[in-house]
């Protein structure tokens, strides 16, 4: 009886030792896989962070180039004094920016831009002086602030949106409101007075 008890006890002890060994092995494997996963994800995050940093640097450099152009610094409210050469220069900067970063549009607008206000020259709500968006619309550079730049609609319908080729209304007001917030932020954080600012509009899921 005693031998049987010892035999059973030995089996139990061997089983516990084996279980402990297996548990230690799998715990070691788990820790190893965990460290490998963390290392892989850290490397991927570093690559992603570098891409984001490069994108922001590209946006900054191109927008800074635009803001320093003499034609931009002397542009009138509706861009009517912008020469063809100046438009071509801006278009090429926009093309270069859009080729490298997911930027859909480049707006040129005054420092006191307010889309909620009525432009006395057009009778419609204020719009950017110029909008460069050829790569997403297929159209040439457009002046959004001039009265004859689009269909004639009543001012109260300015925010309804003009349908694109697919019949989807392209509502710009939310973009314009964000642009005003951005300008207000510049005024609060930039010590130098602003005359005009070229500002990018990031692509959203519907490309606007």
Q: What pLDDT shows up at residue 193?
A: 55
Bridge partners, 162 (sequence order) = 170
Residue corresponding to tokens 């031998």: 3
Task: Give the range among 5-9, 97-101, 103-107 with minimum mean pLDDT.
Answer: 5-9
Global pTM value: 0.59
Per 3-state DSSP, the chain is made up of helix, strand and coil in percentages (nearest 5) of 55, 10, 35
Q: CA 136, CA 104: separation in Å to the nearest integer?
A: 6
Mean pLDDT of 171-182: 87
**Using one digit for the tens of pLDDT, what is the confidence trace for 113-149?**
999 899 998 888 898 888 887 665 554 444 444 434 4
**Do 129 and 141 form a contact (C-beta atoms < 8 A)?**
no
| C-alpha to C-alpha distance for 81 and 177, rounded to whole angstroms | 26
- The fraction of the chain above a pLDDT of 90, given in percent, is 8
Lowest mean pLDDT among 25-39, 152-166, 171-185: 152-166
pLDDT classification of 103: cutoffs 50, 70, 90: confident
Q: In the chain, which ranges are E strands? A: 103-110, 130-132, 162-163, 169-170, 196-202
Assign 180 a pLDDT band (cuts: 50, 70, 90): very high
The ranges assigned to domains in the chain are 54-202
> How much is the average pLDDT of 161-165?
59
Residue 5: predicted pLDDT: 67
Residue 25 is predicted with a pLDDT of: 72
21-68 per-position pLDDT tens digit: 777 777 777 788 888 888 888 989 999 999 889 989 998 999 889 888
Cα–Cα distance list, 114 to 73, 92, 127, 195 (Å): 19, 28, 8, 14
Report the 10 Å Cβ neighbour count for 203: 15
């Amino acid at each position: 009886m005693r031998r049987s008890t010892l035999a059973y006890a030995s089996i139990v002890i061997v089983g516990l030792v084996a279980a402990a060994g297996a548990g230690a092995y799998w715990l070691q494997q788990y820790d190893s896989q965990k460290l490998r996963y963390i290392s892989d994800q850290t490397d991927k995050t570093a690559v992603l962070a570098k891409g984001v940093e490069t994108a922001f640097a590209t946006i900054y450099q191109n927008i800074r180039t635009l803001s320093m152009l003499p034609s931009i610094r002397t542009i009138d409210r509706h861009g009517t004094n912008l020469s063809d050469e100046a438009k071509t220069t801006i278009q090429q900067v926009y093309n270069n920016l859009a080729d490298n970063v997911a930027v859909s549009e480049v707006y040129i607008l005054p420092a006191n831009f307010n889309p909620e206000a009525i432009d006395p020259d057009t009778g419609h709500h204020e719009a950017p002086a110029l909008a460069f968006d050829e790569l997403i619309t297929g159209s040439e550079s457009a002046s959004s602030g001039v009265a004859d730049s689009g269909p004639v609609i009543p001012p109260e319908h300015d925010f309804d949106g003009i349908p694109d080729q697919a019949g989807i209304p392209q509502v710009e007001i939310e973009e314009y409101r964000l642009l005003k917030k951005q300008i207000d932020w510049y005024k609060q954080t930039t010590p130098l007075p602003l005359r005009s600012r070229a500002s990018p509009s990031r692509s959203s899921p519907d490309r606007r």
